[in-house]
Structure 1
């Protein structure tokens, strides 16, 4: 891998991390605001829980894509599969 390729990959990973942390910060700030609104205007129903839950699932999915996905189907896995298919085609 050349230095340019390494730099490009590192830059992509940093952009993914920045996107995730921005998403997480928005999740925390908006949910704190929604919790405050719901508790201050309490009508007997905690509607903020729905937003927190489903948006939380989206944040977990984003985290999986940025952090966990690379362990299972990351670059190493992809390279291994490419080599396997290339070897298979040679036969």
Structure 2
């Protein structure tokens, strides 16, 4: 039983590490993109654009979009969201192959 508890603890520690890394990534994403966007809006306004023109410029949000795609994939990995295989897909596959192996071993007995 101690071995199982140790394995569970290791998994929990790994999960906490992954969550922490994701939240650090999210914080850096918000801080850096906010800084870049504010500087870009101020620079564009100093070049004669109105606030609305500077704010709605695609370049202001391009980095949010492209970095956000990477952040979304990171979130999908951390929170175990896999739209292709479903939540219990891996567990079902393990059971399927274990049953298959058990049936094959019975044939030879």
What interval of TM-score do these two structures reach, taking the shorter chain for normalisation?
0.7 to 0.9
Q: CA deviation at 1:51?
A: 0.4
Task: Give the total of aligned pairs.
Answer: 89
Q: Deviations along 1:12-31, whole A, 9 cap, x unmatched? A: 10011001000000000001
Equivalent in the alignment of 1:27? 29
* Structure with higher RCO (Cα < 8 A, 6+ apart): 1
Could you list the per-position Cα deviations for residues 6-63 of structure 1 after superposition, in whole angstroms to 9, with x for gaps in the alignment? 1000001001100100000000000110111101100566313110101111111111
Task: Give 5+ residue unaligned stretches, structure 1.
Answer: none
Output the aligned Cα RMSD: 2.2
Task: List structure 1 runs of 4+ shifted beyond 6 angstroms.
Answer: none
> What residue in structure 2 maps to residue 80 of structure 1?
92
Give unpaired runs (5+ residues) of structure 2.
Answer: 104-109
In the aligned structure 1, how far is the partner of 2:93 from the partner of 2:61?
42
Larger Rg: 2
